[in-house]
Amino acid sequence: MSVINDTKAIVIGMWTTWKHIFRRPVTLQYPEEKRIPYPRYRARIVLTRDPDGGERCVACYLCSAACPVDCISMQSAATEEGRRYALWFRINFSRCIFCGLCAEACPTMAIQMTPDFEICNRDIMNLVYEKEDLLIDGCGKSPEYNFYHHAGIGVTQRRGAGLEEKPPVDVRSLMP
Amino acid sequence: MFDPIDIAITLGKILLVFMVIMTMAAYLVLAERKLLGYIQDRIGPNRVGPFGIWQPLADAIKLFTKEDFKPAGADKWLFYLAPAMAAIPAIMIFAVIPFGAPLTLFGRQVTMQVSDLNVGLLLFVAFSSIAVYGVALGGWASNSKYALLGSIRGLAQLISYEISMGLSLVPVVMLARSFQLSEIVGAQEGCWFIVYQPLAFIIFMISILAECKRVPFDIPEAEGEIVAGYHTEYSGMRFSLFFVGEYINIVVLGGLAATFFLGGWHGPFLPPVLWFFIKVLAVAFLFIWIRGTLPRMRYDQLMMFCWKVLTPLALLNILATAWFILLKG
Amino acid sequence: MSLQKGFMPKLIIDNIAVEVAEGVTVLEAAQSVGIHIPHFCWHPALGKAGACRVCAVKMVDGPVKGIQMSCMLPAQDGMVVSTTDQEAMAMRRQVIEWLMINHPHDCPVCDEGGECQLQDYTIAGGHGLRSYTGKKRTHINQYLGPHIEHEMNRCIQCYRCVRFYQEFAGGTDFGVMGSAGRIYYGRVEGGQLESPFSGNLVDICPTGVFTDKTARFRARYWDYDMAPSVCPHCSLGCNTVPAARYRELLKIVARRNDAVNGWFICDKGRFTNSVVNDPARPRYPLVDGRKVGWDEALDNLLLRIREFGAVHGPESLAIVGSSRLAMEAATLLYRLFAGIAAGSLCYFTLEEEADQARAAITHLNDATSASMGDVQEADLIALVDCDLLQDGPMMALAVRQAWRKGAKIFLVENDVAPEAQKGLPFEWQSVSLLSDIPIREARKPVIICGRGKGMQDVAPALTSGVKLAYLLGGPNAFGAALLSAGHGATTLAQAVASGKVKGILAVEVDIPPELLQGISFIAALDWRATAIVKAAHIVLPTTAWVEMDGTYINNEGRAQRFKKVMHPGLPIMGLDPAGHPPRRHETAPPGGEPRPAWQVVADIIERTGTERDVQPLSGQWQWLRHLDAESPGQRIWQNMKQVK
């Protein structure tokens, strides 16, 4: 009968909550007790460098396009050797929701998230990070990856000298 | 005609009752937050004082210092009046509740009751009807769709459940043969009415849960749907009047439940006043426990439950009780 | 199958019955009912090549069966086509994968990324991960001049570039070399591309082999501020889409308008962004070189005009517009002229330009005016005093299309310098007189008149059926001539020659220095840092065409609306010495003071007290207000009964 079933359901529910009253709370008293987040925790964003020390970010605008709150802005430019880089790169952490879509969108593994979540500040402008605040001296996760070695257009190496590339074609050759 | 000492005693009792109720309401808030915390494996407020015991004070300071905001287009006077309409009738009901055995002080019989009206039960029903106006006016005067929706829901709910609540009390009156609460308590000296009237008790408890607008009957202020219902637009002290009114209601209805079904202040070993408080707190605990367990009902379920289940059951219960009394002679 | 004329093959594509003209391909037939078949090598302006193999469809029933290339197959009666057939989809998916075998992995550093057809189809085809593990072929790139960046590794061999460059535009210095997987598109030696239409390689390449060097590494498609616009660099009024970002005009791409420019634009229209981004542009109202607010500048202007009137008499003030002034402001000039009781109203500076524009509005009407679309369909074209590549390069491209279809081109010899004829992308016969051309024998003859003196002789050649096109001085020369004729305006040269002009209010006009001798008061409204802006006592900055809505009437009398693309203001790049944008909040962009010229003129009129709430385009010009920028434009004769 539904009345019995319903009553039973309510009683079971009440019994469950009753048991929980006497359980040890899981709360951590945050400022005094700190929890170490996992390495893949999604907090403060950094820009990493490739193993050769060059900036990984090529300012492709994919992170700013992926960002649902439009907190990333940048201007791309070219260095003299033709390497694309971010002339300026700005993340407004007062707007950021730490969703991780930017890091997911990044094709060069440049933008990565760190477990450092304690970046609160009373002045909003202190939460607007420029490129020099974001750029770190390290590779972060995936330490071997170097985008330009796979890109297939040279830039950091001779054309045709990258991984998975043949040497350049001699267009004047008559060989089949 | 009026004995000045009587007046002084009455004033003293009013003051005492008022202070005790306000303190209880304030700490009930804390108790609820703590208890909900434990139910959810949390700690609850623990920052202000040891175990957070000054939390009600901190809340009061916060609410007092907040901006007293009135939305554009609100009906000014109704907007100001509504919170008072919600809180005051709840306190007034306590005037007729006996919270202890009559004492003899300096040769004077002092009842532990502010006023022992012979129609105490009717006064309670009347005042709980007035409290409906707080919800209705608050929602209407706010000039906000959420508030209006909340107050419409609240009106329908309060008026409906008042009927099942009133009907569930009829057997109590029939058994005690009086509307006077002290006599109802007196009639339970031997055996509590909950034993004779378990069905009426259950109907009464469910109805007062709905009268308090508490989970699972909190659809007038359903946060997930209509922000905060009829008090969406209130802030600061006016909001806290609504808020405190709700907890006063818990205390008062807990007292009434104790009076009508749980033998009032009667009980072995412990002093009567303490027994009364234990019973009130037990009812309050039950309310909080239920809040920590059950989800919110849907509006149609809520209305159907009242009109199709509780009210007919209460009527049947009256018939059964009447039949029983007739048979018994 | 019948070959008789007017036969319309009926076929069924994806269960939709389609009836098309004879010779139309299956791909176009599908497009006509809204079914998009992927394609790289096929282009509506270039036709088919059958090089990419990505437009495969399954012929379920009819004269042909099996997998076929829809761009190569003319629609025939009784065909039943499926674009969603498993076999066809698998074919298309595999073709995409083949095309991607050698394509580099460099989308993040490719400017085409985001507007790349190859990228779109690769994603659409579901080819997300590369399964080919072999090595990719690479190429050495060439320097192709300051406008175009070359990246051959990205090439998918669709032949669009070379078909456009050689066949459509008549260029000779760019072609295809090599064979099989080593096909190379480029020049024999690196160097600047010679064709004045080379910029279209950027638009036409389905991937990033050719990208716009002037906008290299600046922004992505989804971030551009874009709006339909009209090119202001000559009188043809080619349709464009300027793309701006961070208050900087980055690049301009062609917008299709079959009656005007077709699918393409010339390099002059494409690569002349610097005038908008020029740091020397007037950005603030100036009074005697001092930055002031708009109110102060306008008050000062009226005060000066009054003082000037008291000294020299108001009739010695000339209000000068130009052929680059949009219709909105141009129509207000007369009301300003009346409001301050000035002496002269000029829409043209020099006599020659005014004469030519006057000839255009006199001889052209809805029947005789030749659009560039008409030029492409002509079978005889006479060029009179034309410097096509200077005054309207796209007209040269239109003439080439007619020539490719067999039209005869005659060039009337004249005093235009012979080097102007160098590089014209078609062959012609020289004649000494217009009357030597057998115009009467042609079915669709068109005479194109340039800016030389000889065009007065055109009138005798006009007979029924002959269409005319003029190359005028500026994007709104036609409109300026209409207004000039309507208000009986003179040219500035005439007014100055009469000796009565002592002050000039110049509204977006370039005035040669010899006309400024003896002028004691100059006020200039302009968005370019011209000589007269530098000499002016009061400068009121106006917005460039990409910073406002406006209307131009092009050389054939076609009114076209252009929309605001970007906000006026100093580009963000360079605002802060630290390199990044400023770290403080402002409600208005710095340098964002410029206002549309019509608005400034309207403000001046309102301050003279003669009119209130001045709106542009009133009276007989009201119809221009409702012009749709996305439409191909409207010829004035369709909307105005009496054009004076």
Query: Which pLDDT score, from 0 to 100, does residue C436 have?
Result: 83
Quick check: B41 contacting A, CB < 8 Å?
Answer: yes
Query: Which pLDDT score, from 0 to 100, does residue C2 have?
Result: 45
Instruction: Tell me: pLDDT of B32 over 60.
Output: yes
Please tell me the class of the C286-351+478-638 domain.
Answer: alpha beta
What token pair was written down for C608?
């003279």
- Do residue B38 and residue A25 have CB atoms under 8 angstroms apart? yes
Distance from chain centroid for Cα B29: 14
Bigger pLDDT: C148 or B244? C148
Query: Which pLDDT score, from 0 to 100, does residue B199 have?
Result: 87
Domain boundaries in chain B? 69-328
- Do residue B42 and residue A26 have CB atoms under 8 angstroms apart? yes
The lowest-confidence range among C171-180, C232-241, C290-299 is C171-180
A28 vs chain C: nearest CA distance in angstroms? 38
Burial class (CB in 10 A: 0-12, 13-18, 19+), C279: exposed
Name residue C67's beta-bridge partners.
Answer: C58
The strands making up A128-129's β-sheet, listed across from edge to edge, are: A72-78, A84-92, A128-129
Q: Report yes or no: C319 and C342 within 8 Å, Cβ to Cβ.
A: yes
Quick check: B304 contacting A, CB < 8 Å?
Answer: no
The sign of the CA dihedral C375, C380, C385, C388 is positive
Contacts with A128 from chain C: Cβ below 8 Å: 583
Query: Residue C4: which pLDDT band, with cuts at 50, 70 and 90?
Result: low
How big is chain C, counted in residues?
644
- pLDDT, tens digit, for every residue of A67-116? 999 999 999 999 988 899 999 999 999 999 999 999 999 999 999 999 99
Residues A145 and A51: their CA atoms lie apart, in Å, by: 7
Query: Residue C1: which pLDDT band, with cuts at 50, 70 and 90?
Result: very low
Chains C and B touching, counted as 3 or more CB pairs less than 8 Å apart:
no
Interface of A with B (CB under 8 A): 10, 13-14, 16-18, 20-27
A56 vs chain C: nearest CA distance in angstroms? 11
- Closest C-chain CA to A89: C580
Mean pLDDT of A52-63: 93
Listing DSSP states for A110-170 in one string gives: -EEE-S------SSGGGGEE-HHHHB-SS--SSTT--HHHHHSS-SSS-TT-STTEEEEP-
Contacts with A20 from chain B: Cβ below 8 Å: 38-41
- pLDDT, tens digit, for every residue of C518-541? 899 999 999 999 999 999 999 999
Distance from chain centroid for Cα A18: 43
Query: Which pLDDT score, from 0 to 100, does residue C644 have?
Result: 47
Quick check: B292 contacting A, CB < 8 Å?
Answer: yes
For chain A, which domains are there? 45-151 (3.30.70.3270)
Mean pLDDT of B59-76: 84
Contacts with A31 from chain B: Cβ below 8 Å: none
- pLDDT, tens digit, for every residue of B125-153? 888 888 888 888 888 888 888 888 888 88
Angle, in degrees to the nearest 10, between helices B272-293 and B236-260: 120
Q: SS3 letters for C474-508?
A: CCCHHHHHHHHHHHCCEEHHHHHHCCCCCEEEEEC
A36 vs chain C: nearest CA distance in angstroms? 33
Give the residue from A50, A57, A58, A61 with the most C CB atoms within 10 Å of its CB, the best one to mutate.
Answer: A61
How big is chain B, counted in residues?
329
Mean pLDDT of chain C: 90
Query: Which pLDDT score, from 0 to 100, does residue C384 have?
Result: 87
Listing DSSP states for B214-235 in one string gives: -TTS-GGG-HHHHTTGGGTT--
Tally C-beta pairs within 8 A across A and B. Answer: 34
- Closest B-chain CA to A27: B42
Give the residue from A6, A17, A29, A30 with the most B CB atoms within 10 Å of its CB, the best one to mutate.
Answer: A17
- pLDDT, tens digit, for every residue of C373-418? 999 999 999 998 888 888 899 999 999 999 999 999 998 877 666 7
- Do residue A167 and residue C138 have CB atoms under 8 angstroms apart? yes
Helix then strand then coil, in percent of chain A rounded to 5, is 25, 20, 60
- DSSP assignment, residue C291? E
Query: Which pLDDT score, from 0 to 100, does residue C563 have?
Result: 96
Task: List all chains that touch chain A, counting a touch as 3 or more CB pairs closer than 8 Å.
Answer: B, C
Quick check: B293 contacting A, CB < 8 Å?
Answer: yes
Bigger pLDDT: B59 or B4? B59
Contacts with B290 from chain A: Cβ below 8 Å: 14
Query: Which pLDDT score, from 0 to 100, does residue B299 have?
Result: 86
> Could you tell me which of C338, C336, C317 has the C-alpha nearest to residue C503?
C317
Query: Which pLDDT score, from 0 to 100, does residue B261 have?
Result: 86
Please tell me the class of the C10-98 domain.
Answer: alpha beta
- Do residue B41 and residue A25 have CB atoms under 8 angstroms apart? yes
Please give the backbone phi and psi of residue A71, each rounded to the nearest 5 degrees, phi first: -100, -5
Domain boundaries in chain C? 10-98, 136-277, 286-351+478-638, 369-465
Mean pLDDT of C228-238: 94
Q: What percent of chain C has pLDDT over 70?
A: 96
Mean pLDDT of chain A: 90
Query: Which pLDDT score, from 0 to 100, does residue C231 have?
Result: 95
- Closest A-chain CA to B309: A3
Query: Residue C109: which pLDDT band, with cuts at 50, 70 and 90?
Result: very high
C149 vs chain A: nearest CA distance in angstroms? 12
